[in-house]
């Protein structure tokens, strides 16, 4: 299949640099390999983040964290073969209070403007974002959801943001739910069955506590096991955020491919006929 000649375009909207590599990156790598143009719109620069890799936890790196995170994003984009754009907002941190100039403190209709411009210029048929809970309750993730949904609507409205170009209707919108409870539980159980420690027991316990039940929302399952290694390489490019000896890499790739070879999504809007479940984000558009 030569998707490039078909003009297929996929836009992922993410809150921070590294989100594009920890959520849906194998899907991205698969579509890039098939010739689809893929762009990531990154809402913030991750300025309020921490250094989560002990090997990178130095005063010099803390002093240069915004620049480091931009460089890491550029390397991850190179590995994934994507286009990437910054929406220009400031990281809000985990809260509960957020600074007045931060992303989460903006008015949704105003903050959607830069993304409307990206949508109208890139003209994606498919857009992915987070669910109404942000995937997890980080203020920037929740705001990312809000501006994504507002921008999809506004981008198609000729009366909204006329300075940002001709209207464009995104045909399909998905929530990325690749870090869903069913997947983590299956991998955790498979590790236990093979005599190894359970890597996700604490994570799963927290998911129970916050009441998330993503598994029953899944509609779309993208076979992308052949690209798990590319996903991990992109993750490792975010060296301040990802510990190479940490939880992300505890489950061997061969076990991941056997137990859960997909990344998973919820279709939440479509202008084309659909039949669920799907195995292609562009189902109905090819």
pLDDT score recorded for residue 3: 40
From the options 1.20.1250.20, 3.40.50.10320, 3.40.50.20, 3.50.50.60, give the CATH code of 3-179+218-270. 3.40.50.10320
Contacts of 75 (CB under 8 A, 6+ apart): 237
pLDDT tens-digit profile of 176-233?
999 999 999 999 999 999 999 999 999 898 887 655 557 789 999 999 999 999 999 9
Question: Where does the pLDDT of residue 48 fall: very low under 50, low under 70, confident under 90, or very high at 90 and above?
Answer: very high
Q: At a CB cut-off of 8 Å and minimum separation 6, what does 77 contact?
A: 20, 40, 83, 84
Average per-residue pLDDT for the chain: 94
Specify the range with the lowest mean pLDDT, choosing from 81-90, 145-154, 214-223, 259-268. Answer: 214-223
Mean pLDDT of 30-40: 98
Please tell me the predicted confidence (pLDDT) of residue 137.
85
Specify the 3-state DSSP secondary structure of 76.
helix
Chain center to CA of 285: 22
Spatial separation of the C-alpha atoms in residues 218 and 29, rounded to whole Å: 21
Nearest to 176 by CA among 121, 226, 231: 231
Q: What is each CA distance from 260 to 29, 213, 257, in whole angstroms? A: 17, 18, 6
76 vs 78: CA distance, rounded Å: 5
| DSSP result, 252-264 | -HHHHHHH--EEE
16 labeled binding residue: yes
> Residue 164, annotated ligand binder?
no
Residue 274's pLDDT band, with cuts at 50, 70 and 90, is very high
Structure tokens at 207: 């998911």
Confirm if 220 and 266 have CB atoms less than 8 A apart.
yes
The answer to whether the beta carbons of residues 11 and 176 sit under 8 Å apart is: no
The residues, ordered by sequence, that sit 6+ positions from 114 with a Cβ below 8 Å of its Cβ are 87, 88
Mean pLDDT, residues 162-177: 97
Supply the pTM of this predicted model.
Answer: 0.95
Instruction: Quote the percentage of the chain above a pLDDT of 70.
Output: 96
If pLDDT is split at 50, 70 and 90, which confidence band does 247 have? confident
Confidence of residue 75 (pLDDT cuts 50, 70, 90): very high
Residues 41, 116: Cα–Cα separation, whole Å: 11
Domain layout of the chain by residue ranges: 3-179+218-270
Tell me the mean pLDDT in the region 262-284.
97
Q: How far is CA 175 from CA 61, 64, 112, 131, 229, in A?
A: 33, 33, 17, 5, 23
Q: Which of 21-35, 91-105, 248-262 is the least confident region? A: 91-105
Does 19 count as an annotated binding residue?
yes
């Amino acid at each position: 299949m030569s998707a490039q000649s078909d003009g297929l375009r996929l836009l992922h909207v993410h809150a921070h640099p590294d989100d594009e590599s920890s959520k849906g990156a194998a899907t991205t790598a698969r579509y890039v390999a098939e010739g689809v143009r893929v762009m990531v719109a990154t809402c913030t620069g991750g300025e309020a983040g921490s250094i989560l890799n002990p090997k990178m936890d130095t005063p010099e790196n803390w002093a240069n964290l915004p620049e480091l995170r931009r460089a890491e994003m550029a390397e991850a984009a190179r590995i994934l073969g994507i286009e990437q754009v910054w929406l220009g907002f400031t990281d809000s941190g985990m809260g509960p209070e957020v600074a007045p100039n931060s992303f989460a403190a903006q008015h949704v209709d105003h903050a959607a403007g830069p993304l409307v411009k990206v949508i109208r210029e890139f003209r994606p048929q498919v857009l992915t974002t987070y669910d109404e809970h942000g995937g997890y309750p980080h203020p920037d993730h929740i705001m990312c959801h809000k501006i994504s949904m507002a921008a999809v609507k506004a981008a198609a409205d000729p009366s909204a943001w006329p300075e940002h170009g001709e209207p464009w209707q995104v045909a399909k919108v998905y929530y990325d739910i690749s870090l869903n409870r069913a997947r983590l539980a299956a991998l955790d159980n498979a590790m236990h069955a093979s005599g190894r420690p359970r890597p996700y027991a604490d994570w799963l316990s927290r998911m129970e506590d916050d009441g998330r039940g993503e598994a029953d929302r899944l509609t779309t399952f993208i076979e992308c096991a052949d690209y798990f290694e590319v996903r991990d390489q992109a993750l490792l490019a975010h060296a301040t955020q990802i510990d190479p000896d940490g939880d992300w890499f505890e489950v061997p790739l061969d076990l991941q491919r056997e137990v859960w070879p997909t990344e998973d999504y919820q279709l939440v809007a479509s202008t084309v006929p659909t039949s669920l479940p799907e195995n292609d984000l562009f189902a109905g558009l090819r």
